[in-house]
Structure 1
Amino acid sequence: MFVPTVGARLDAYLGDADQVVAMGGGVGTLYELTAALYYATTIRPVPVRLLGPTACRLRTFLRTEGWLTESPTRPMGFLRELPDAEALDVDLKALLDAER
């Protein structure tokens, strides 16, 4: 699918997402992850998973710097840290079971 802007790309990507999984990467990953976090806290609560040590350190950084905060009106239950792909598999199965 072709879209004219990065914003339109993220909108199309997040609008259809059942879950977002972020792994270590560069600036593009950071941009997409922060867009997913914003989307999940303001538009609809899509599950976001941080997979592996690099992505988990990013959550720590965002919280320390005050860019990611939890409040009664902005719960963070949609966001989880997972150490590896095996944990992601277990988490995905639990999400699917909860939907049934």
Structure 2
Amino acid sequence: MKKKIAHFKAQINYKTAEKGGLISPISSGFRSEIKFPFELKTYIAAQTFSETELIFPGDSASIDVTLNGADSFLDQLYEGMDFELSDNSGVIGEGIITELYFNS
């Protein structure tokens, strides 16, 4: 299987369980929904951790993100753009794009 290349690096703040966020630690490869402020559609965001093996509830980290099924949307991304990460329980974190890895 061909490995997908990350679309951007982001600084993400994961919420604690008390704030409706993560209940347990997550590892590299974790997937969640990602929602951008002006986009009606949500995408699946695969997150790759290069600085640590696990992210714990309440942690902040710089993470590589690959969007699945977002090819037509990639040209609208920009550095400084914010977003929300969610799962079935609600919003689990917020982030901001710090670096784009592709030429739009």
TM-score (norm 1): 0.28
> Does 1 or 2 have the higher relative contact order (CA < 8 Å, sep 6+)?
2
TM-score (norm 2): 0.28
Structure (1/2) with the larger helix percentage: 1
Structure label with greater radius of gyration: 1
